[in-house]
């Protein structure tokens, strides 16, 4: 029986996968740090016990945030001004993972272009732009 | 979570998106390294999924503000029916869905060179495949993006049938590619939820971290298990979740209690 050879693996895919993989690992470390800080910090604008009680009581997001010392519903920008709280650090970690998709797509698109897959390089470019623009759309509306 | 807890559905949906996304993000590495995920299929579906996911989550936020608890029950019922329908498609498709063969050549797929092969560990040989029905698949992926963003599922569960049943891509490649694609799609879909404060970090964190570990383990296991087992597991999970969702939806809509559920 002839020995079957393993097919080659496209470099553009490997680049995409590795970039995303390591960014996710870093974001997971930040999330762990933020979560631990949430539970050990004394007083905070976002007290974790109160937050969890409200969540598990089935309250809506608006009601939950209104009942906390922060007083109003946060958006992505609010979290940036609350980076001394564990909750905001946790959300920052999550956002880092989310935002890693854009640069990973651009890197992969460059290798796609070099390997003469121009159509997919262009579609990737548009996807990357959309992934990076998506967070800012709501600040414009 | 929609099926098993009483937490507000927007919070559950944002948590669901994060959980599904991080599983796909971390699994992208092993999937690409092993050549299981097809990067061309990923970039073909990326834009429709990103756009659809974003629009779906935007619609979910707007609808929840108008429909309240009745809306939650309708969401659960609709999702339950949708998952049951997909499970039935996999049951009817039988074993032919594991390594499908495209009987006719698609002109667009040929032009885009949408043909590839991957190393099948269980058979110890490469498996070749030719994709087909590109236009229909792109439209369906957009619809999957909308649905996934709306329900907070990411849409991976529906990307597999689109790639496998519509495009004739082998089941394992479909599963791996859908993992990468759903992570991409959710990266846009999560922002409407973050902007209305529906993403609670300490609620999402434990699920997310568990899913990261599960994503790495699952990506390694997928290459070495038989495609038939993947199909059966998928059917079982779809049916179980749809049953629970359906009963929770009925309980909410008609204010009744269904015992043992």
**Residue reference for tokens 């087992």:** B229
Supply the pLDDT for residue B97.
61
* Separation of alpha carbons A78 and A99, rounded Å: 17
Quickly state the pLDDT bin for B220 (edges 50, 70, 90). confident
Q: What is the CA radius of gyration of chain A?
A: 21
Query: Would the pLDDT of B165 be above 90?
Result: no
pLDDT of residue A22: 94
Q: What is the DSSP string of A74-92?
A: --HHHHHTTTTSHHHHHHH
Interface of B with A in 22-51 (CB under 8 A): 22, 25-26, 28-35, 37-40, 42-44, 46-47, 50-51
A18–B contact, CB cutoff 8 A: yes
> Which pLDDT belongs to residue B94?
65
- Interface with chain B: mutation pick from A121, A127, A131, highest number of B CBs within 10 Å: A127
Q: What is the pLDDT of residue A104?
A: 93
Q: Cβ separation of A105 and B208 shorter than 8 Å? A: no
Give chain B's mean pLDDT.
Answer: 79
- Does the residue B260 lie in any domain? no
Distance CA B122, CA B253 (A): 47
Question: Which residues of chain A neighbour B39 with C-beta distances below 8 Å?
Answer: 10, 12-13, 16, 108, 112, 120
In tens, the pLDDT along B178-200 reads: 889 888 878 888 888 888 888 89
Across A1-5, B80-84, B225-229, least confident range: A1-5
Chosen for mutation from B202, B206, B223, B251 (greatest number of chain A CBs closer than 10 Å) is B202
In a domain, B188, yes or no: yes
Structural domain span for residue B38: 24-248
Instruction: Give the range with max mean pLDDT: A56-60, A121-125, B165-169, B255-259.
Output: A121-125
Flag whether B49 is in a domain: yes
Instruction: Give B34's contacts in chain A (Cβ within 8 Å).
Output: 9
Give this complex's ipTM. 0.87
CB spacing of B188 vs A130 below 8 angstroms: yes
Interface touch A86/B203, C-beta < 8 Å: no
Asked if residue A18 has pLDDT above 90, the reply is: yes
- What pLDDT is recorded for position A14? 92
What does the pLDDT look like over B60-108, one tens digit per residue?
Answer: 777 766 766 677 677 778 878 878 887 887 787 666 666 666 666 678 7
Let me know if residue B18 belongs to a domain: no
Nearest to B43 among A7, A87, A120 (CB): A120
Q: Which two tokens stand for residue A75?
A: 């958006």
Bridge partners of B115, per DSSP, are: B130
The count of residues in chain B is 261
Whether B35 is covered by a domain: the verdict is: yes
CB contact under 8 A, B188 and A131: yes
Residue-level pLDDT at B104: 67
Residue B140 forms part of a structural domain: yes
Q: How many CB pairs under 8 A join A and B?
A: 206
Q: Hey, how many other C-beta atoms are within 10 angstroms of the C-beta on B181?
A: 34
Does residue B257 lie within any of the structural domains?
no
Q: Are the beta carbons of B8 and A61 separated by less than 8 Å?
A: yes
Tell me the C-alpha distance between B6 and B199, whole Å: 16
Given this model, what pLDDT does residue B261 score?
A: 46
Q: Residue B224 falls within a domain, yes or no? A: yes
pLDDT band at B132 (very low <50, low <70, confident <90, very high): confident
Average pLDDT of B7-34? 85
CB-CB under 8 Å, B201 with A94: yes
Do the Cβ atoms of B184 and A105 come within 8 Å?
Answer: yes
Total structural domains in chain B?
1
Of A18, A60, A105, the CB nearest to B8: A60
Q: Tens digit of pLDDT for each residue in A72-124?
A: 888 777 888 888 888 999 999 999 999 999 999 999 999 999 988 889 999 99
- Bigger pLDDT: A17 vs B57: A17
Predicted confidence (pLDDT) at residue B41 exceeds the cutoff of 70: yes
């Amino acid at each position: 029986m002839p020995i079957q050879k393993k097919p080659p693996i496209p470099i553009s895919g490997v680049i995409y996968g590795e970039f995303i993989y390591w960014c996710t690992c870093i974001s997971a470390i930040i999330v762990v740090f933020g979560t631990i800080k949430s539970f050990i910090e004394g007083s905070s604008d976002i007290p974790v016990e109160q937050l969890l009680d409200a969540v598990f009581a089935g309250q809506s997001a608006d009601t939950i945030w209104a009942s906390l010392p922060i007083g109003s519903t946060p958006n992505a920008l609010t979290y940036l001004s609350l980076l001394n709280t564990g909750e905001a650090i946790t959300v920052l970690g999550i956002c880092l993972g989310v935002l890693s998709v854009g640069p990973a797509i651009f890197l992969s698109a460059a290798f796609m272009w070099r390997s003469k897959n121009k159509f997919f390089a262009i579609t990737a470019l548009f996807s990357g732009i959309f992934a990076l623009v998506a967070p800012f759309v709501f600040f414009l509306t | 979570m929609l099926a098993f807890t009483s937490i507000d559905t927007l919070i559950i949906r944002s948590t669901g998106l994060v959980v599904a996304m991080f599983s796909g993000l971390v699994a992208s590495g092993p999937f690409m390294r092993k050549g299981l995920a097809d990067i061309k299929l990923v970039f073909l579906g990326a834009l429709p999924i990103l756009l659809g996911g974003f629009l779906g989550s935007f619609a979910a936020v707007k609808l929840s503000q108008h429909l309240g608890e009745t809306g939650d029950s309708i969401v659960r019922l609709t999702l339950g029916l949708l998952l049951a329908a997909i499970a039935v498609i996999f049951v009817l498709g039988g074993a032919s869905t594991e390594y499908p063969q495209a009987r006719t050549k698609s002109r667009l797929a040929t032009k885009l060179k949408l043909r590839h092969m991957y190393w099948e560990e269980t058979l110890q040989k490469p498996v070749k495949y030719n994709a087909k029905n590109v236009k229909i698949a792109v439209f369906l992926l957009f619809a999957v993006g909308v649905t996934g963003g709306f329900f907070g599922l990411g849409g991976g569960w529906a990307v597999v049938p689109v790639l496998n049943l519509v495009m004739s891509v082998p089941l394992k490649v479909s599963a791996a590619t859908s993992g990468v694609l759903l992570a991409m799609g959710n990266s846009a879909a999560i922002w409407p939820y973050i902007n209305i404060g529906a993403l609670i970090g300490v609620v999402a964190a434990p699920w997310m971290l568990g899913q990261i570990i599960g994503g790495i383990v699952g990506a390694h296991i997928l290459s070495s298990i038989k495609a038939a087992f993947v199909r059966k597991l998928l059917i079982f999970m779809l049916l179980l979740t749809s049953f629970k969702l359906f009963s929770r939806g009925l309980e909410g809509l008609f204010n009744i209690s269904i015992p043992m559920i």
